[in-house]
Every structure is written in C-alpha cells, then in structure tokens.
Structure 1
Amino acid sequence: MADFIFRKQGESTWYVRLAVPADVQNSIGRKVFVRSLKTASRTEAVHCSHAHLAVWRNQINAARKAKEAPEGWQETIVAATTEAESFIQSRKRAIIGEAVPPLNVSEAEVQAFKKSNPGLVAQLEKWVDSQPDGDVAGDLRIQDALHLGFKATLERAFNAKHNLTPEQQQELVSLIDAPASYQKKSPLTKTRLASFRTYRIGQNIAQKTVDQQESKLRKLSDYLTHNQATLDTDTVAKWLNSLDLSSKTLTQYLLAGSVFWKWANRYDERWLSDYKDRANPFENHDLPRVRGKAKAEGKRKDFSPEDLSMLHDAAMKDGLCVLADLILLGAYTGARIEELCQLKKTNIITIENIQCFDIIDSKTAAGIRSVPIHPALKPVVKRLAQESSDEYLIPSNSRNKYGIRSDPLSKAFGRLKTLHGFGKQHVFHSIRATVVTQLLRAGVAGTLIAEIVGHETGTVTFDVYSQGASPLQKLKAISKMPRLKPSVDTSATPPQA
C-alpha cells in the first residue's frame, strides 16, 4: 500500500496516486489519479488512501465493463455489414444505368447513425472525397474499394470501442467478411440459464425441479438456434407442436418458460431492454384437450386388496423381500413411496398411547403428519426396526443424485406389476388410491381420510383452524381397512434370495 502514497518535493503532505491502465485512459479521461491526503503522518496517509484507491479501482472496473462487447453484439455487426452491402450494390446498379428504388432509410435515421458513429462517418467521407472521378468501370472499382474501406473502418471502430477477447476478435473479422454466415444465437444462453438456476436454488426450489425446468429451457434454446427463430408466441407454438407430447407435459414446458420469462424481465437488465414491451410468449396457448373417454383411460387405477396380496406374495416368491415389506407399509398407511423409504426408527413415535409413524418430510405441507400404525403392521415394523443397519426401516441401495431412496424400489415394483399383467395405469402410487377407496367404503369421513393420506381438504375450516383428528380416531379409521391375506408370516425374517 505504501507504494501508492508519495510526497511532492518540498512538501510534508502525503498524496495517493494510482495509474490508469492504458485500455481505459480515454474513457476515464486521464492517465493517473492523484489526491492529497491532507496529512503529514505516514500512518494516517496509508489509512486514508484505502478509500480513494477503492473508488478509483471501481471506476476502472466500471470503465472496463463498459468497454466489454454487449451481449448480442454480433447481430449489430451483421446488420451494419448487410446494410452496407445492400447500399453498395444499389450504388453499383445505379452506376450501370439500372433503375434503383430509393433506400428505405429516413433522413432521421441517417442523422442518428452519423451522430452515434462520428469517427466512422468522418473517415469514410474523407476517404470517398479523396477518390478521383472516372468512367463506369472506375466508379464501380471505387464502390468496391468503398466497401472494403467500410469493413476495415468498422473493424477498427469496434475494436476501439470495446475490449474484445481473441475469440471475439476472430468472430468480428469473420462476420464483417461474410455476414450471411452468421448463425443467430438463442437468447436463452448458458450464462443466462446459469443465473436463473442460481436464483431458483436460492429460492429453495427442489433440485430436481430446477434441473427438469432447465432441461426444458435448453431444448427450447436448441430449437431457436437450429431454426434461427425469434422467441415469440408463434415460435413457442411451433416448438410445442414439434414435441409430440401430452397436454399435461406441454403445460409443464410452458410453466418452465413462463417462470424463466418473469425472472428475466425482473432481474436481467439486457433481457428487460430487449423484451420489456413484448407479451409473455408462454401464455395463452391452445393445447389439445383431453376428452372424457381418453381422460378416463389415462387415469391411474387403484389395486384391489386381493391384487396387493398377490403382488406381495409374488415379491416374496421372487426374493424381493424389501419390496414385499414396502407393499405392506403402503397398503396400511396410504403413504407415498418416498415418505415410506425415508422413515427411520426415530420416526416411530407414541402419541396419546397410540404408536404412529411420524412423517416429517413430504411434497406438501399437508403431507407432514402422523399416521397410526395398523395392527397388522406392528410385527412387520418391529422386525424392520430390529434389523435396520442404518436407522432406516426400508433398506435401499439408491444412487439417485437427488437423494431419492425409493428410486430402485419404484422401478422394481414397476417390473413386478408389469410381469403380473398390470399396465401403465397401475403404479405404486395406485396403492394410495386403494387406501382412500377402502376407507371411504368403510364409512370413514372424507376429512379424516385426507388427514391420514396427507391431502388438504380445500376448506379453511379444516385446513387452517382445525387441529385435526386424534390419534385414536385415526387408528379406528385405519383399522377398518380390510386386511391383506399374504400367504407367508410377515412378522418373521424373510428368507434371502
């Protein structure tokens, strides 16, 4: 720090000095910063210099940032070069006697260009005035030379205005030489999507959701680049049509785009500048409607208690003992598969003398709940707790990057049910529907069923004000569930395959 302070000859006062880098001297308007520190104490001078140096360095950084080529600069170069080529071609056609329509450029636009590019215009005018008059061939050569001069001048002017990386410099030369070769880039750039990801994670959005939405946006970005299309409602509609997906899935794509659009228009200055007056292109799309029959055919179906007994026995027969236990847990709780796989021994609690599962993490707020353990499950739960080697009741070798323990078991269940004749409408989640159906048929009230399986009732009275049913009320309701009839003793340690 002492290197930045000095005394002028014959003075006792200390000064602070910072050289301005050559690349920003013109924009800052000086070669060096100097300021009196108004003290003769070296210690005080060093301390006081910190604030001045910080301000100056911020000015230098701001000047450098201002000289960075703005995002989308390539399109500006292409537009200028293409316009110049069009102008030169019109001049050459007029020289050989062709009728040439006037250029679609207003006098105001000409004056605006001159005002924003005074150095470029002055160099070109000086160069044209220096060329001698000649015959037609000579005039054509002048136009060709003028075109080359424009390209060279444009390159010099852009380089003087911006600090370009070697890659940008090479791209600049290429675009000026052959503007038609330019491939328009998607506005959904990697940098922009990375910023969006950081924001979403900071909002505590689930990692899986962030990844899925980013994947959808990358697909759109690839589509825009491949088709050299602009981001508007018509383009989004064509993109959706090219995906050949269900209306439900297309809605998820539109949601991802809309969330990004709103973020960009709030937090991305360049995006706001480019799109602030445009309508959200991800809204007001007419997606294919799913009619009654197709909707019914696509709806998930529940298993019968007999189906679950059969699948449990089949899992045991195939040596899939963990899956068999999981089927029992689902059949007597109606819990989601991941809720069950996240249960630990510490989640077996007693409330008002009723033994319950304490489900402390779920996809919804209503999913945070306690579920009494069905009498038929107690020996199974006792065995699972005794055999647990990692505190979890259900063992799993999942390597899922999102920490989803149920992933391999969900796939195993899918293979099992397919092997026994169940189609796409039957999944592990269908067991929740089985529980809801059986409880309803047993005369259990709808609000109580919702509490047991972790659904909101949709009413303020029960969702906001009520403290819910007692553990005993829940147990009495769950005990009305018809018992499965597995052909093996579920309380005993199952044989290993």
Structure 2
Amino acid sequence: MAKPSNTIRDTKNLIQKAGESTWYVRLAVPADVQKVIGRKVFIKSLQTASLTEAQRRRGVYLTTWWAQIEAARKSRELPEGWQSNVVAAIETVSSMFQNQKRAIIGEAIPPLPPINPELEARLRGNPRLVEAFETHVKQRLGEGLSGKLQLQDELAEVHKQLAEKLVIRRHTVGLEQKAVLISLIADPASHRSKSPITKNRLKAYRAFRENRGGAPKHIDQQVGKMDRLSTFLKDEGLVLNFDTVDVWLNSLDRAPATLGQYLMAGTAFWKWAMKYDTAWREEYKDKVNPFVGHDLPQGGGSETAGQDREIYTLDDTIKLRQAALNGSNQSLADLIMLGWYTGARIEELCQLNKESVITVDGIRCFDFPRSKSKASKRVVPIHASLLTTVDRLLQDALDTYLIPTQSANRYGHRSHAISKAFGRLRTTAAFSKLHVFHSFRHTVVTQLIRADVPDALAKELVGHETGSVTHDVYSKGASTVQKLAAISKLPPLL
C-alpha cells in the first residue's frame, strides 16, 4: 500500500496539513499590508474533513479577510490634506536648523522641538550610517564657523530626504502623489493652504441633508455658502478658525440678517462634520466652533437693513409702467399692472396660466394655487381695468403662461429672471432699493384699508391669514360678488 503523501493538498484557498484530514482555509496577506495587519498569512481550521463542506464554510472567512486587507490598504492611503502636513513638517525642520545656525553665531533661540522617535530609531538602527555621520560631523566641526553653518544646512537636507522616505514607508504613494511630495519638500512655499471644506466633504454633506428630506433650495443655499467660504480660504491661503471666518464675513458686504444666515450654514456644516466625518473630528477635536460668538454689525452691511419697504403710489406705478414700455419690455409692463390690481406675489403672477383664468358666479377671476401658506390658495376677481390686458395675454400666450419668462430655475420658479429685470428697471427709474416688487402687496393692502374694505376681506384677497380661527378654519370666506366689489375700489391706472 502506498504511503500517504506528506505534501499539502491545495484547492482554491483550501489546504490539508500533512498527516491531517481536517481542511483549513488559507489566504496570503499581500506584502503591501503585512506590517499593518501584522501577519503574512491568514489561516483557519474549518473543522471538517469533507471537501464539499469546507468549500461551503470558507466563504465567511475569506470575505472577512478580504475586508481586512481592503481596510488596511485604505489606512495606508494618504489622508486628506496630507500636503499641508508635509509642508508643516518641512517648515519645522527648516526653522529648527535655521535657529541652530543663529545659535552658532551667538543669538538666543527657542528650545528645540523633541526628536521624532521613529526618525531617531531609524538613524541609530544603521551602525554604518551612524559612523559615517559622526565622521562627517567631526570634519565639518574642524572647518571652523563656516563648517558648522554648512553642517546645519546638510543636516536639514538629510532630514528632508528622510521625511520623504517616511511618508512613502507609511503610506501608499502613487506616481503623481510622489511628484507632488518631492516638489513640496523642495519648495514648501509652492503649496498654499488648502481649505478643509473639500468638494468631497460638501458632496457628502449634501447627500446627508438630502437623505434627511431637506428642501432642495435650502440645501443648495447652505452648501453654496460653505463652498464660497472654501474658495475664500483657498484664495487667501488661510486656515479655518474664528479669525478667518470673521475676515470672511467682513469681505461679504451683506446685511446683518444675511451674515447671520452664513453663520447658521457654517454651524450646521460644522456639527455634521464633527459627528459624521472621522478625519474632521480628529483634526478639530480640540477646537471650538468658529462660526459662533461673532458680533454682527448693527444696521451695517446693507443700506436697507432694518428699514421698511416703501409702497408705490398711483403716480409711481404709472411712471414705472411707462419706463418698462419705453424700454420695449411689454412683459414687465404687464407684470406691473398685475401687481397693482392683485397685490399677488411675483412668483404667483408668473405661475398664472390659461387655466388660472376662471369664471365664478359669472365673474372672471384669477385662481391662485397654494404657494407659501394655506391662505395663499385663493380666487381673486379680475379688476375691470385689467380685463383687456388679460384677454391679450390669453391670446398671445405661447406656453400657456400669461407672463412669458425665461425657463424656470431648478426649483421650478419662473420669476427669477424677470425679478432681476424689475430691479434694473426700478434703479433706472430712480426708485430706491426700498421699492421692490413685493411693495405692490403693501400698496394694495393700504388702498383696500383706506377704501374701508374689512380687514379680513383685504387679507383674503392678497392671501394672508387673518389670525382668526373662526375665519381661517371655519369660514368659507367672502362671496365672489363681495370680493369683486372690494377689488374694484383699487384706483385704475390711467
């Protein structure tokens, strides 16, 4: 009878040791992560002599080991912001040896920083290197002052070379990264401080907010504010702290309320990063939130901050509409008329389409859908002086909307472009920044009150809640006839 083979049988990560019937699962650890994992091979008894059963059981171990290898490889990747770390280390080395040169010529210098233990061990672990180093030092010291100064320059260069080797030893460094590493060591000044608010972090922050069901516009605004801060830090070569945030705020030239929104956006990002971003949490673990504690200007940053909006008089509106016509902007002139006769919000007017013009109790009306609140959904009779304009808009409408504008923005809003055009028209016509399109709402409410229209009815026409539970919850509101009588009290534009 043939003797049993002493060789190890192997099939797809499965082995049997010599003289054993039990199967083992085995996986060699790649050389690049052996030091991180602390072994050269994974091996585990599957406690079965059946090859079929061993093949079934091995999967869980292989999956776990492959995950460990992948995690070990990721741990060797250069961390985010590694360039700044390298520059800081090289600048420390350069400063240290520059101070040593100053000490040689008799100047007082600060205490030397502690020696990197790994660097010291690496130097002392090579006897031949130590011997050559000591011989060279003695030679330089024998050359007098010039030799001593030159020795410091040479030692600085040696430390720079060792720094490069340490980075490569600790991390997986690609060809492009190595080229950057060499460049930074040779010329640290070539690297400007990079913002910690990176594109990847902003992407992760956006995904987090979207997964929590945040409003797209609000998310865009907050991410956009942090992106602007990041650009500022990069352009100015600044780190993120309280002082740089203060400098950034001063550079914005915004109203205090707007600056407050920037700080709230910063705080929201900071809280997210400290909770969910491991690298950020480690880097800023001993830092306070740089977005809190700022004293914002009182009434500064905007000439209109804290001031009430002005209303448009009849003469103002006629002047404004004529300016639009003189500028060949019929759409803007029509929008001004709609604002004067309805007091509706600019976006509500831009959303009006052919189906929004309805007839109720024999009276033609605008059917405004819900926008900002429950009260914003309302039916408003069309003022007699506006009917001819509405008929023309219905006939000329190309895409069903009464007011033609550029395509809607990403949030479905149609008023953005024409609102900007209105702002330019207002400036050209010599109106102040306190005169905005929304001022027409104030104008209409003021006109209705002065015409003795009941407060609840005036609010119903412009889409404001009355504040009365009886009216807002239980009442069906005024009749169409009552609303027409009220809206008819608005003076016509002659």
TM-score for both structures, normalised by structure 1: 0.77
- Structure 2 unaligned blocks of 5 or more: 1-9
Is structure 2 residue 73 aligned with structure 1 residue 64? yes
Q: 1:23 to 1:253 in 2, by over 3 A?
A: same
Q: 1:287 to 1:173 in 2, by over 3 A?
A: same
Q: 1:147 to 1:304 in 2, by over 3 A?
A: closer
Q: 1:160 to 1:433 in 2, by over 3 A?
A: same
Is structure 2 residue 336 aligned with structure 1 residue 327? yes
The equivalent of 1:371 in structure 2 is: 379
RMSD after superposition: 4.3
Q: 1:448 to 1:287 in 2, by over 3 A?
A: farther
The equivalent of 1:428 in structure 2 is: 437
Is structure 2 residue 180 aligned with structure 1 residue 171? yes
The equivalent of 2:259 in structure 1 is: 250
Matched residue of 2:379: which SS? strand
The equivalent of 2:299 in structure 1 is: 290
1:276-312, Cα deviation, whole Å (9 max, x unpaired):
4433333333333229x96599643222245445655
Matched residue of 1:33: which SS? strand
Contact kept, 8 Å, 2:33 with 2:73, in 1: the verdict is yes
Matched residue of 2:42: which SS? strand
CA-CA distance at 1:7 after TM superposition: 5.1
The equivalent of 2:284 in structure 1 is: 275
The within-5 A match list for 1:417-456 is 417=426, 420-444=429-453, 446=455, 449-455=458-464
The separation in 2 between residues aligned to 1:417 and 1:87, in whole angstroms, is 63
Contact kept, 8 Å, 1:88 with 1:147, in 2: the verdict is yes
CA-CA distance at 1:69 after TM superposition: 1.8
> Which of 474, 480, 485 pairs up with 2:492?
485
1:403-444, Cα deviation, whole Å (9 max, x unpaired):
432234334444555555544333322212212222332344
The separation in 2 between residues aligned to 1:63 and 1:149, in whole angstroms, is 30
Identity across the alignment (%)? 43
Q: 1:306 to 1:264 in 2, by over 3 A?
A: same
The separation in 2 between residues aligned to 1:317 and 1:93, in whole angstroms, is 76
CA-CA distance at 1:67 after TM superposition: 0.9
TM-score for both structures, normalised by structure 2: 0.77
The separation in 1 between residues aligned to 2:77 and 2:359, in whole angstroms, is 64
The separation in 1 between residues aligned to 2:402 and 2:179, in whole angstroms, is 61
Contact kept, 8 Å, 1:315 with 1:416, in 2: the verdict is yes
Name the stretch that deviates more: 71-80 or 319-328.
319-328
The separation in 2 between residues aligned to 1:45 and 1:354, in whole angstroms, is 84
The within-5 A match list for 1:360-439 is 360=369, 362=371, 364-365=372-373, 368-374=376-382, 376=384, 388-398=397-407, 400-414=409-423, 416-417=425-426, 420-439=429-448
The equivalent of 1:491 in structure 2 is: none
Matched residue of 1:278: which SS? coil
CA-CA distance at 1:193 after TM superposition: 2.7
Q: 1:454 to 1:63 in 2, by over 3 A?
A: farther
Is structure 2 residue 470 aligned with structure 1 residue 472? no
The within-5 A match list for 1:50-199 is 50-91=59-100, 98=106, 100-101=108-109, 103=111, 105=113, 113-114=116-117, 119-120=121-122, 122-123=124-125, 127-128=129-130, 130=132, 131-132=134-135, 133-134=138-139, 135-137=141-143, 140=148, 143-199=152-208
The separation in 2 between residues aligned to 1:22 and 1:136, in whole angstroms, is 46
The within-5 A match list for 1:314-353 is 320-347=329-356
1:354-399, Cα deviation, whole Å (9 max, x unpaired):
976554453x345642233345366765775576554434333436
CA-CA distance at 1:55 after TM superposition: 1.8
The separation in 2 between residues aligned to 1:357 and 1:14, in whole angstroms, is 81
Q: 1:469 to 1:304 in 2, by over 3 A?
A: farther
Q: 1:203 to 1:374 in 2, by over 3 A?
A: farther
Determine which structure has greater relative contact order: mean sequence separation of CA pairs < 8 Å that are 6+ residues apart, divided by chain length: 1
Contact kept, 8 Å, 1:254 with 1:283, in 2: the verdict is yes
Aligned length: 474
